[in-house]
């Protein structure tokens, strides 16, 4: 049996909103029994980038645009997109005026969710999770994965994410 879970990342600098978003994601993933895992929930974009760099697996990213950090949400999205053209990006923010800037940054978000209505926000977050699940699942089963060990870490990559394999030695 395969225990691979597709990664979810959250970057929200408001701790209360981050906690709510994290709880909502975990609850929905558990209730729907989705093969996903929230691997990083932080207010610091650099922490998210560092955590993601450890695996570089395609993931679902919920990003606040107006981060009070050196890197704002648009720049964070651009850095993710520069490395991973298949990453799923969702902006969760109060700054709807930033929607046109997503085109300037060419980050192609799946959704842009305003924070002004918690019910609408919850529904759209669940829809984003559902869309991510549909893209990652085939006939209700997790896609086949290639597993290997790197030091003490076990890494599992879906075959559709592998472009090239080589051995050394």
CATH of the domain at 113: 3.40.50.2300
In a domain, 165, yes or no: no
160 located within any domain: no
Is residue 162 assigned to a domain?
A: no
What's residue 167's pLDDT?
Answer: 73
Query: Structure pTM?
Result: 0.79
Residue 5 to residue 35: CA distance in whole angstroms: 5
Q: Quick check: helix, strand or coil at residue 99?
A: helix
Q: What is the pLDDT of residue 48?
A: 96
Q: Which domain holds residue 48?
A: 6-141
Question: In this structure, is residue 48 part of a structural domain?
Answer: yes
For residue 37, being part of any structural domain is answered with: yes
Give the model's pLDDT for residue 140. Answer: 45
The number of distinct structural domains making up the chain is: 1
The answer as to whether 1 is a domain residue is no
Query: What is d(CA 1, CA 167) in angstroms, rounded to the nearest whole number?
Result: 26
pLDDT in tens, 114-161: 988 999 999 999 999 998 888 877 544 455 666 666 665 556 666 767
Residues of the chain with pLDDT under 70: 1-3, 138-158, 160, 169
pLDDT score, position 139: 41
Given this model, what pLDDT does residue 138 score?
Answer: 59
Half-sphere exposure of residue 36, counting CA atoms within 13 Å on the CB side? 31
- Asked, for residue 78, whether it belongs to a domain, the answer is yes
Output DSSP code: residue 107.
Answer: -
Residue 103 lies in a domain: yes
């Amino acid at each position: 049996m395969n225990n691979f879970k597709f990664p979810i990342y959250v970057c929200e600098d408001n701790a209360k909103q981050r906690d709510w978003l994290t709880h909502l994601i975990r609850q929905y993933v558990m209730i729907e029994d989705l093969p996903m895992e929230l691997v990083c929930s932080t207010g610091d974009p650099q922490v998210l980038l560092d955590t993601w760099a450890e695996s570089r697996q395609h993931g679902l990213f919920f990003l606040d645009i107006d981060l009070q950090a050196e890197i704002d949400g648009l720049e964070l999205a651009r850095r993710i997109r520069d490395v991973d053209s298949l990453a799923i990006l969702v902006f969760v923010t109060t700054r709807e005026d930033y929607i046109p800037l997503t085109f300037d940054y060419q980050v192609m978000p799946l959704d842009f969710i305003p924070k002004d209505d918690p019910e609408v926000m919850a529904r759209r977050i669940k829809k984003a999770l559902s869309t991510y699940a549909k893209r990652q699942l085939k006939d209700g089963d997790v896609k086949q994965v290639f597993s290997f060990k790197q030091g003490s870490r076990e890494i599992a990559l879906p075959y559709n994410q592998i472009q090239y394999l080589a051995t050394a030695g």
